[in-house]
């Protein structure tokens, strides 16, 4: 008996196990689907029918996903009392549907009690009438293929489930323990039934069958009739070459790197990058991030003030689906503008860039899952694959081979065609808006009446023929004269639907006056490998006519002062035009418009601006700088768009501007254009720029552009387009006086520029502007720090050299907060060559964790620098860089942006540098920013006493102090909200006895240390021994009764001044000047002098020639400079050490 019980118990356990497995597996059979980017449509030709009318039904399936669809079965149900009509079928199976392809089933049904006669359906072309549409787009995460068991296995599990459940239930009636087991079982069941165990015992290559159900209700004879359709398919991944692990996730930096690689966009050279993001500076993906930012792919950083805060990119954080979609959409030329009526997905309110996400969805970059986008979900390899497929599809959408061309445009039946044999040698004379047409044969006008629109055949003058509206008809002998006007587009077309390539009419090319042109049928253009950075995002179609147009411009005057000469070689452009639009009396409804132009251009030119030249600065007789620019036309080339009646006449032009002279030779290979599709528009732009040789003595631009109008029958402007690309260069030059000649030395930036636009006065332009409100002008590349097509180089006397031969210098300093004097890490300094901020960016640097910065290899000369830090007010200042020396900036103090409308106070004492005594009665001027000695004056006034006090809005200012018989001085002040800061002012008196051969040295500093001492050494050149040493214990040095050097003022109570004067310079001696921190003289670690704001100013005569700021380094002994009067060479040393 026990044995039987044991066997029964074992059987029950076995059945319990089967019961569990059956329950766990069943939910998977019931709900599993794998429907990714599959769009199904149920279409009827009308919404309402009479009882005797035939109903035409079309079911379409479009594969917009990343997989191939296999065994696609489409079936629609035949309602009760209805039957198939005209030999239709209600189901069909398609073996395979590739990505981007559409299959359809069209059939007809009729009421079986009514006899009807209707043409059989056409299954070869998509249905044109789609008044009633059922559109279902069901999607899930890419790469989550569901698995399913065989149907026989399903039946087996059902049997086992029922059997085991029955036995367990029966046993539970008498067995309390078993009832407990069942209780536990049901708890497990409730948990595990929610788990996806579909992978258990299923082969990895098993393909799930997915099902989609569609239904639509129409009206027949006033009664509702429901139509139903089903689609079944298997989604198969056939991409065996994919490099993506579809489950892998990516960081933001990794995604940007992948995207650039997909676009074939090489990374910018690291030494050419001006880093925009602070955290990309030392990131492994930083170069890719900065390159993407330069191309304009990245969203605007989320900072409070873009102009003043330092943005962060967070390259190591997970890349979200929203960020990936945004960058991909912008990489393909979209700017976010769209008319897509799609914003009802479930988490749309969680999306920040809704316009970009809508564009991404309709172009199948990414998909919704259960009507949810999941914007913050990290992208996977499957997402990357999906986006890359979409990029390929967009690129393919502007490619067109000859066998893909078509013209399904519909010209109205009311248009009267004039036979070619009857209209031979017709002539047209345009008189204002009226066209007078003379036809040689009066039979031609048979059947033509006033208000008819006629189509004249092609002629030598009109390659696509003419469409005109007849206003008057008269006969003159054997000929007939028609007075005509230009018809409206709606009087010609009912629909525009074409995809055609341009066919250039080379024989009809017209060169501009003063320009010669030769057509070389075998010509081609090849760019040098030594070019800048190529960007391959899009490509055009196939060139229909090979060869090049070779222009020669002898010397063409653009303005009174600007002349251009040289040669231009242009490969025959490749034009692709795709247009789909419905035309009616109420206007034009554009569904799709693509105009793509690919060109290769090579220019070798000499630009010369004939103005007086001084140090490579061009000035007129009044001393004002001139900058001339102009455009010259070099020729026109008509392009015929297939046999559509459309043409695109290209006007080639040179656009040049110069300040000085320049010789340049370069090559451009670009594709440009415009595409409107799926309710969104994008600029098509692909660019390659190659520099062969350049000699520059100026700044300017030179480029070749094209413009044209897409015309219907030479009269109606459908779309106007203009594009221009070229090379720009700018820089500033500093004359260095050498022993034998003057060296004009400068840092230059070469950049590519490109711009394009659609004419908003044309048919397409009006639609895009008035209906869609789209931007129709694009500046693809401009001269700014984010231009990826730029190169920096050094020029001496017009020649590019690898490095400056005159000598370079280094700039160092510290950035700190003005209120607490705390160092600021991550502050940004942009360094521009010359006196104008923003024109020629040389370098962008950031402070380290201690607030220090350093930049070397700067050509000697003047620089403008911009200082910015997050949360602070940015400002700028000018600095002078000395060759072969390190220049230390004074500590750059930053003012917080809070309370900008409040006030702060600065106060101080006014002293004579020579005596250290107070002075009064002086004029002051306040200017914005630091070291600003010539800019606009914000405030002016007088100081009557020997102390002053000013109340100003928080910010950085330059305080200028002017007093009669004193040398004007400028000090930089930082005004902090609700605080008082002290800035003492020292003025050096003018003195006729101090000529340019003698020196005065003035030391000033802050409150602490209390006592800084000046030390001047005079040494014999031959013996290198000290001749004299002036300091606080030996203030004067005389030779006989002649004063040689004096310590004029010795200050021991903070601020200074401490002044030393050399009255008699000796060519046989050299002089060295030092500053000693007497307060901390015995310290071996003090940094007090570095933090003191100490400044040394060197005067010769009545001019301050040098200003030295204390280095931000520890030390108590500052060697400031050495001076050799024999060569008049003052050499900055700026070395810190410790000494007592």
Which stretch, 75-89, 760-774, 838-852, 910-924, has highest mean pLDDT?
910-924
Count CA within 13 A, CB hemisphere, residue 910: 25
* pLDDT tens profile 569-592: 666 566 677 777 777 666 667 777
Handedness of CA 443, 447, 448, 450 (dihedral sign): positive
Return the bridge partners of 38, or none.
Answer: 63, 138
Distance CA 1052, CA 20 (A): 94
The pLDDT of 38-63, averaged and rounded, is 87
3-state secondary structure 865-889: EEEECCCECCEEEEEEECCCCEEEC
Count CA within 13 A, CB hemisphere, residue 893: 20
Handedness of CA 301, 303, 309, 310 (dihedral sign): negative
* pLDDT tens profile 1054-1094: 999 999 999 999 999 999 999 999 999 999 999 999 999 99
- Note whether 960 and 941 are within 8 A (CB): no
- Confidence label for 201 from pLDDT (cuts 50, 70 and 90): very low
Distance CA 295, CA 265 (A): 10
What is the percentage of the chain residues whose pLDDT exceeds 70?
63
3-state secondary structure of 785: coil
Least confident of 46-55, 59-68, 756-765, 1014-1023: 756-765
3-state secondary structure of 171: helix
Beta strand segments in 802-936, E: 808-817, 828-833, 841-846, 852-859, 861-868, 875-881, 886-888, 892-894, 904-912, 922-928
Asked whether the predicted pLDDT for residue 169 surpasses 70, the reply is no
- Note whether 517 and 506 are within 8 A (CB): no
CB atoms within 10 A of CB 442: 14
Asked whether the predicted pLDDT for residue 867 surpasses 70, the reply is yes
Please state whether the peptide bond connecting residue 1092 to the residue before it is cis, i.e. omega within 30 degrees of 0: no
Count CA within 13 A, CB hemisphere, residue 809: 21
Distance CA 614, CA 621 (A): 12
Asked whether the predicted pLDDT for residue 871 surpasses 70, the reply is yes
- Note whether 672 and 753 are within 8 A (CB): no
Distance CA 212, CA 199 (A): 23
pTM equals 0.71
Asked whether the predicted pLDDT for residue 242 surpasses 90, the reply is no
pLDDT of amino acid 790: 67
Asked whether the predicted pLDDT for residue 558 surpasses 50, the reply is no
The pLDDT of 86-102, averaged and rounded, is 86
Of all helices (H) and strands (E), which one includes residue 657?
A: strand 646-659
Task: Of 745, 749, 721, 728, give the one whose Cα is nearest residue 806.
Answer: 745
pLDDT of amino acid 846: 96
Asked whether the predicted pLDDT for residue 734 surpasses 90, the reply is no
pLDDT of amino acid 259: 95
The distance between the two most distant Cα atoms of the chain, rounded to a whole number of Å, is 139
Asked whether the predicted pLDDT for residue 369 surpasses 80, the reply is yes
The pLDDT of 660-684, averaged and rounded, is 65
Q: Which residue has the higher pLDDT, 547 or 176?
A: 547
pLDDT of amino acid 784: 63
Asked whether the predicted pLDDT for residue 159 surpasses 80, the reply is no
* Residue 134 buriedness (CB in 10 A; 0-12 / 13-18 / 19+): middle
CATH topology of domain 810-888: Immunoglobulin-like (2.60.40)
Least confident of 19-23, 976-980, 1038-1042, 1100-1104: 19-23
Least confident of 74-83, 798-807, 815-824: 798-807
| Token duo for residue 15 | 């059945």
pLDDT of amino acid 32: 29
Task: Of 451, 443, 528, give the one whose Cα is nearest residue 485.
Answer: 451
What is the percentage of the chain residues whose pLDDT exceeds 90?
38
pLDDT of amino acid 797: 62
pLDDT of amino acid 431: 87
Long-range CB contacts (within 8 A, 24+) of 420-426: 420/457, 420/458, 423/456, 423/457, 426/456, 426/459
The radius of gyration computed from the CA coordinates of the chain, to the nearest angstrom, equals 41
The pLDDT of 718-727, averaged and rounded, is 62
Give the chain's end-to-end CA distance (angstroms, integer).
Answer: 109
pLDDT of amino acid 507: 62
Does the domain spanning 991-1140 belong to CATH 3.40.50.150?
A: no
Report residue 786: phi and psi, to 5°.
-95, 0
Task: Of 322, 318, 254, 320, give the one whose Cα is nearest residue 292.
Answer: 254
Distance CA 366, CA 390 (A): 9
Asked whether the predicted pLDDT for residue 335 surpasses 50, the reply is yes
pLDDT of amino acid 267: 84
Asked whether the predicted pLDDT for residue 59 surpasses 80, the reply is yes
* pLDDT tens profile 876-912: 999 999 888 899 999 999 999 988 789 999 999 999 9
β-pairing verdict for 416-417 and 453-456: parallel
Least confident of 19-23, 163-167, 512-516: 19-23
What is the chain's mean pLDDT, rounded? 76
pLDDT of amino acid 711: 66
* Residue 163 buriedness (CB in 10 A; 0-12 / 13-18 / 19+): middle
Distance CA 897, CA 875 (A): 12
Report residue 8: phi and psi, to 5°.
-65, -45
Q: Which residue has the higher pLDDT, 606 or 913?
A: 913
Asked whether the predicted pLDDT for residue 205 surpasses 50, the reply is no
* Pure H helices in 367-449: 381-397
Least confident of 197-201, 551-555, 958-962: 197-201
CATH code for the structural domain at 413-490 = 2.60.40
Least confident of 18-27, 78-87, 892-901: 18-27
Distance CA 1044, CA 1062 (A): 6
Asked whether the predicted pLDDT for residue 1108 surpasses 80, the reply is yes
pLDDT of amino acid 270: 80
Task: Of 34, 689, 19, 104, give the one whose Cα is nearest residue 369.
Answer: 34
pLDDT of amino acid 652: 62
pLDDT of amino acid 972: 97
Return the bridge partners of 40, or none.
Answer: 61, 136
- Confidence label for 314 from pLDDT (cuts 50, 70 and 90): very high
CB neighbour list of residue 57: distance below 8 Å, 6 or more residues apart: 42, 43, 44, 76, 106, 107, 108, 109, 227, 229
CATH topology of domain 898-984: Immunoglobulin-like (2.60.40)
Torsion of CA 395, 396, 397, 400, to 10 degrees: 120
Count CA within 13 A, CB hemisphere, residue 922: 28
* DSSP structure class, residue 403: G
* DSSP structure class, residue 26: H
* pLDDT tens profile 960-1015: 999 999 999 999 999 999 999 999 999 999 865 545 568 999 999 999 999 999 99
Asked whether the predicted pLDDT for residue 131 surpasses 80, the reply is no
* pLDDT tens profile 280-295: 999 999 999 999 998 8
Q: Which residue has the higher pLDDT, 511 or 824?
A: 824
CA 503 vs. chain centroid, Å, equals: 33
pLDDT of amino acid 783: 59
Cβ-count burial 188-224 (b if 16+ within 10 Å, e if not)? eeeeeeeeeebeeeeeeeebbbbebebebebebeeee
- DSSP for 241-302 reads T----TT-B-BHHHHHHHHHHHTT-PPPPGGG----SGGGTT-TTHHHHHHHHHHT-SPPP-
* DSSP structure class, residue 771: I
3-state secondary structure 1039-1091: ECCEEEEEEEECCCCCCCCEEEEECCCCCCEEEEEEEEECCCCCCCCCCCCCC
- Note whether 597 and 641 are within 8 A (CB): no
* pLDDT tens profile 831-846: 998 888 877 788 899 9
β-pairing verdict for 790-796 and 875-881: unpaired
The pLDDT of 451-480, averaged and rounded, is 84
């Amino acid at each position: 008996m026990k044995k039987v019980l044991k066997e029964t118990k074992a059987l029950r356990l076995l059945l319990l196990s089967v019961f569990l497995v059956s329950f766990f597996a069943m939910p998977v059979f019931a709900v599993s689907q794998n429907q990714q980017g599959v769009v199904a449509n149920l279409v009827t030709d009308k919404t309402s029918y009479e009882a005797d009318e035939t109903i035409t039904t079309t079911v379409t399936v479009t594969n917009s996903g990343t997989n191939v669809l296999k065994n696609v079965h489409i079936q629609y149900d035949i309602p009760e009392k209805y039957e198939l009509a005209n030999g239709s079928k209600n189901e069909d199976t398609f073996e395979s549907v590739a990505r981007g392809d559409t299959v359809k089933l069209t059939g007809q049904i009729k009421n079986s009690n009514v006899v009807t006669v209707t043409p059989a359906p056409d299954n070869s072309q998509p249905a044109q009438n789609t008044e009633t549409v059922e559109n279902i787009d069901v999607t899930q995460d890419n790469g989550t293929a569901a698995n399913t068991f065989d149907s026989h296995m399903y039946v087996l599990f059902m049997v086992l489930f029922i059997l085991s459940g029955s036995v367990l239930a029966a046993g539970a009636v008498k067995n309390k323990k078993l009832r407990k087991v069942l209780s536990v079982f049901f708890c497990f069941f409730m948990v595990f039934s929610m788990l996806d165990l579909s992978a258990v015992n299923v082969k990895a290559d098993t393909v799930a069958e997915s099902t989609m159900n569609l239904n639509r209700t129409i009206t027949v004879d006033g009664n509702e009739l429901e139509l139903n359709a089903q689609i079944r398919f298997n989604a198969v991944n056939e991409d065996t070459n994919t490099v993506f692990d579809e489950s892998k996730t990516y960081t933001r930096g990794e995604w940007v790197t992948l995207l650039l690689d997909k676009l074939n966009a090489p990374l910018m050279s690291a030494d050419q990058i001006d880093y925009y993001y602070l955290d990309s500076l030392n990131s492994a993906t930083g170069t890719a991030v900065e390159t993407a930012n330069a191309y304009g792919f990245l969203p605007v950083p989320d900072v409070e003030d873009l102009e003043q805060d330092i943005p962060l990119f967070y390259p190591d954080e997970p890349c979200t689906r929203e960020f990936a979609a945004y960058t991909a959409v912008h990489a393909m030329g979209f700017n976010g503008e769209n008319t897509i009526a799609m914003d009802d997905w479930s988490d749309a309110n969680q999306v920040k860039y809704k316009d970009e996400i809508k564009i991404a969805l309709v172009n199948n970059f990414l998909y919704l899952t259960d009507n949810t986008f999941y914007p913050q979900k990290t992208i996977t390899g499957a997402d990357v694959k999906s986006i890359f497929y979409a990029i390929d599809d967009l690129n393919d959408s502007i490619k067109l081979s000859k066998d893909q061309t078509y013209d399904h445009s519909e010209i109205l039946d009311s248009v009267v065609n004039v036979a070619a044999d009857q209209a031979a040698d017709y002539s047209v004379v345009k008189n204002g808006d009226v066209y007078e047409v003379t036809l040689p044969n009066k039979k031609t006008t048979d059947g033509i009446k006033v208000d008819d629109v006629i189509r004249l055949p092609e002629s030598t003058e009109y390659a696509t023929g003419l469409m005109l509206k007849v206003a008057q008809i008269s006969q003159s002998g054997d000929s007939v004269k028609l007075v005509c006007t230009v018809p409206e587009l709606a009087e010609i077309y009912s629909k525009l639907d074409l995809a055609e390539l341009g066919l250039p009419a080379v024989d009809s090319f017209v060169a501009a006056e003063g320009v010669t042109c030769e057509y070389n049928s075998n010509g081609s253009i090849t760019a040098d490998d030594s070019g800048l950075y190529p960007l391959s995002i899009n490509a055009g179609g196939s060139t229909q006519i090979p060869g090049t147009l070779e222009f020669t411009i002898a010397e063409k005057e653009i303005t009174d002062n600007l002349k251009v000469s040289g040669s231009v070689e242009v490969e025959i452009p490749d034009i692709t035009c795709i247009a789909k639009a419905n035309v009616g009396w109420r206007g034009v409804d554009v569904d799709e418009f693509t105009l793509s132009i690919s060109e290769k251009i090579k220019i070798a030119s000499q630009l010369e601006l004939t103005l007086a030249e001084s140090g490579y600065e061009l000035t007129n007789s009044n001393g004002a700088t001139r900058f001339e620019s102009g455009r010259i036309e070099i020729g026109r080339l008509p392009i015929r768009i297939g046999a559509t009646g459309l043409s695109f006449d290209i006007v080639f032009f040179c656009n040049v501007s110069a300040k000085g002279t320049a010789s340049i030779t370069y090559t451009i290979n670009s594709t440009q254009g415009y595409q409107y599709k799926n309710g969104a528009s994008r600029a098509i732009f692909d660019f390659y720029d190659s520099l062969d040789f350049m000699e520059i003595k100026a700044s300017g631009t030179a480029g070749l552009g094209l413009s044209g109008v897409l015309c219907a029958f030479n009269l109606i402007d459908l779309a106007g387009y203009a594009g221009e690309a070229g090379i720009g260069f700018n820089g500033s030059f500093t004359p260095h006086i050498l022993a034998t000649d003057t060296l004009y030395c400068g840092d230059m930036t070469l950049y590519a520029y490109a711009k394009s636009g659609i004419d908003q006065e044309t048919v397409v332009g009006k639609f895009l502007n008035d209906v869609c409100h789209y931007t129709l002008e694009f500046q693809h590349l401009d001269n700014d720090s984010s231009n990826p097509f730029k190169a920096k180089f050094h020029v001496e006397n017009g020649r590019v050299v690898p490095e400056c031969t005159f000598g370079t210098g280094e700039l160092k300093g510290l950035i700190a907060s003005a209120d607490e004097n705390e160092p600021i890490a991550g502050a940004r300094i942009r360094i521009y060559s010359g006196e104008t901020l923003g024109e020629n960016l040389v370098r962008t640097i950031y402070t380290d964790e201690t607030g220090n910065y350093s930049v070397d290899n700067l050509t000697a000369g003047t620089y403008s620098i911009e200082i910015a830090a997050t949360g602070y007010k940015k400002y700028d200042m000018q600095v002078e860089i000395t060759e072969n020396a390190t220049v230390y900036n004074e500590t750059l103090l930053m003012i917080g942006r809070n309370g900008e409308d409040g006030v702060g106070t600065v106060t101080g004492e006014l002293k004579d540098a020579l005596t250290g005594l107070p002075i009064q009665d002086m004029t002051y001027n306040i200017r914005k920013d630091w070291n600003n000695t010539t800019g606009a004056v914000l405030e002016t006034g007088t100081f009557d006493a020997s102390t002053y006090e000013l109340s100003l809005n928080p910010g950085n200012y330059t305080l200028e102090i002017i007093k009669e018989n004193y040398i004007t001085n400028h000090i930089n002040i930082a005004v902090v909200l609700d605080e008082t800061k002290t800035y003492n002012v020292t003025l050096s008196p003018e003195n006729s006895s101090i000529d340019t051969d003698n020196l005065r040295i003035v030391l000033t500093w802050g409150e602490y240390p209390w006592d800084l001492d000046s030390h001047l050494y005079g040494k014999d050149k031959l013996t290198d021994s000290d001749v004299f040493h002036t300091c606080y214990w030996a203030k004067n040095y005389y030779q006989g009764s002649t004063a040689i050097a004096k310590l004029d003022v010795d200050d021991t109570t903070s601020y200074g001044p401490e002044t030393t004067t050399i009255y008699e310079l000796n060519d046989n001696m050299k002089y060295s000047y030092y500053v000693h921190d007497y307060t901390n003289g015995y310290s071996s670690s003090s940094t007090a002098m570095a933090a003191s704001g100490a400044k040394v100013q060197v005067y010769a005569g009545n001019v301050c020639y040098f200003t030295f700021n204390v280095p931000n380094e520890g030390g108590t002994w500052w060697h400031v400079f050495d001076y050799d009067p024999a060569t008049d060479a003052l050499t900055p040393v700026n070395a810190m050490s410790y000494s007592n």
